Each structure stands twice: as C-alpha cells, then as structure tokens.
Amino acid sequence: MTENKKAYYKISTLEKGLQVIELLAKNKTLSVTEVAKHLDQNRSASHRFLATLHELGYVLKDSQSRYRLSLKLFEIANHIDDVDEVRSMTRPFMRELSTTHRETVNLGRLEGSDVVTIDTVLGPEVIKFDSRIGERSPAHTLAMGKAILAFRSKEEQTTYAENARFSRLTPKTIATKTAFKKELEAIRNQGFAMDEEEWCLGLRCVAIPLFNDTEPSYALSVSGPTSRMTPEKVSALQSELLMVSRALSQKFNR
C-alpha cells in the first residue's frame, strides 16, 4: 500500500483527539494553551478538541479552566470481558499473597511491546511499591514482561528483541539482545522471572506467567524493597508463585 493510500484512510481529527487524551494521561492537568504548545497546533484547534472531549464526558474542566481526564476511559476498560474475568479470578490469590508476604502484588497484561498494570493489591507496610492501574512499561524492564515473553514463541521473542530500544531505566536494566534472550531462556527453564532493580533501584520483584491460553498474555508479580525481599523471602515466593501459576492457569482454561 502506498503512502498516499495510507494517508487517505487516516482520520487526522481522530488521531489528534487521541493525542490530546494521551497527553492528559501523562501530564494530569493542562490548560488549552499548554495542550496547543505540546501538540504544536494553534490554541483555537486545541480548544475545540478539549471542548468536544469535555462534552462527551472524557475530560473534566476545573475552575481555573484546566482540563483532566475523567473516569470514562476507566469505565470503558472495565467492559473488556477478558480483562475483567482475569481480574476477578486472580484477585483472591493476589490478596492472599499480599497478606501473607506483606508486599504489593500486581497483575499485568502484555500490550504490544509494553506491559500494562491492570490490577494491584498494595502491601500493608509503610514503605512499599505503589503501582498505578494503567501504568505502562517496556516489557524487558519488568519481571512480568519477561515472564510472559519467555513463554511466547521464538518468533515473537525475536521480533521483540529486534524492535526493542532496550532503553535503561536503571543501570541494571537489560540493555542488549543477547542478554535479553539469555534471560528468557533461563526464565523458561525455571518457570519464574526476577526483576533485580531493573525497573527501579531498590526494588526487587518476582513474577510468574498466567496461561489463559496456550501462551500467556498475563503475569502476576510480588514486589518490595530489596531490604525486605531477602534471598529467603524470594525463595519462598518463587515456590508459592509457581503453585499459583498452575492453579490460575487451570481455572483460566476450564
């Protein structure tokens, strides 16, 4: 297909509207002028996009004429049947893991080259990993992402490795294709993945894949400060998470 045909099918106004939504998701609140500056468009056009999104209920406007996203997108996301069903089945396991080990438990889904957090149960400790539902990170930087990719096809792993930028979030983040492939092979053999301060310094994480089909799209992780996530605690978590993976995968495929 030629570039002209691609352009013919592209709806530029829809593209701009979605860019405004993504911009607000990253920046929390913005004025019309700030949106115009970020998107390199005139103030009048930015005002029309924001006014339309406001009328449709996707954004809210405060007394200082600043805009922020409403919960409408969250409501729409909750209607995705597969995600809702998976969250419903995993929640009891997540609560039990969090209560037993006093750490934060996350549920993530692979979306393209990223993992999106779709549910979280915060640990009771004062110092904890506070993740946000909807947060997105490159798959190679997270234990959840590596746990999923390790059990995907070799073709998909190769595609990810060829296209990934391998940007480093910390000095410990995987930064080469060779290291990435070696890590996936080890994870496939042992059944779980580790994040050794690769996403955030001071944070250690253990994750397991959830087989909702022949290949996993979801993963469950337990995260905590390295001071509490000792070798003994990690070892206990690895064994318990492997049992959780088997139990949940059986539930998914009934």
In CATH, what number is assigned to the domain containing residue 65?
Answer: 1.10.10.10
Q: Using 50, 70 and 90 to split pLDDT, how confident is the model at 6? A: low
- Clarify whether residues 210 and 153 are in a common domain: yes
In the chain, pLDDT over 90 holds for what percent of residues?
Answer: 61
In terms of Cα–Cα distance, which of 141, 144, 154 is closest to 209? 144
- The SS3 assignment for 215 reads coil
* CB hemisphere CA count around 231 (13 angstroms): 0
Last residue of a domain, one of 36, 60, 75: 75
- Clarify whether residues 13 and 34 are in a common domain: yes
Q: Which pLDDT score is estimated for 7?
A: 56
Q: Using 50, 70 and 90 to split pLDDT, how confident is the model at 219? A: very high
pLDDT digits 0-9 by tens, 128-156:
777 788 888 999 999 999 999 999 999 99
- Is pLDDT at 127 greater than 80 in this prediction? no
- Is pLDDT at 10 greater than 80 in this prediction? no
- Clarify whether residues 66 and 168 are in a common domain: no
- The SS3 assignment for 196 reads strand
- Clarify whether residues 83 and 142 are in a common domain: yes
- Clarify whether residues 60 and 186 are in a common domain: no
Q: Which pLDDT score is estimated for 8?
A: 58
- Clarify whether residues 86 and 159 are in a common domain: yes
Last residue of a domain, one of 75, 103, 135: 75
- Clarify whether residues 69 and 167 are in a common domain: no
- What is the arithmetic mean of pLDDT over 120-131? 83
**Which residue range forms the structural domain that includes residue 215?**
78-252
- What is the arithmetic mean of pLDDT over 4-25? 78
Q: Which pLDDT score is estimated for 1?
A: 44
Domain count, the chain: 2
pLDDT digits 0-9 by tens, 29-63:
999 999 999 988 889 989 999 999 999 988 998 88
Beta strands in the chain (DSSP E): 59-61, 67-69, 104-111, 114-121, 136-138, 193-196, 203-210, 218-225
- Clarify whether residues 110 and 31 are in a common domain: no
Q: Which pLDDT score is estimated for 230?
A: 95
Last residue of a domain, one of 75, 109, 135: 75
Q: Which pLDDT score is estimated for 80?
A: 64
In terms of Cα–Cα distance, which of 147, 143, 233, 237 is closest to 195? 143
pLDDT digits 0-9 by tens, 67-96:
998 878 877 776 665 788 888 899 999 999
- Clarify whether residues 31 and 138 are in a common domain: no
- Clarify whether residues 61 and 46 are in a common domain: yes
- Clarify whether residues 63 and 157 are in a common domain: no
| DSSP-derived secondary structure for 85-96 | HHHHHHHHHHHH
> What CATH number is associated with residue 176?
3.30.450.40
pLDDT digits 0-9 by tens, 149-197:
999 999 999 999 998 888 889 999 999 999 999 999 999 999 999 999 9
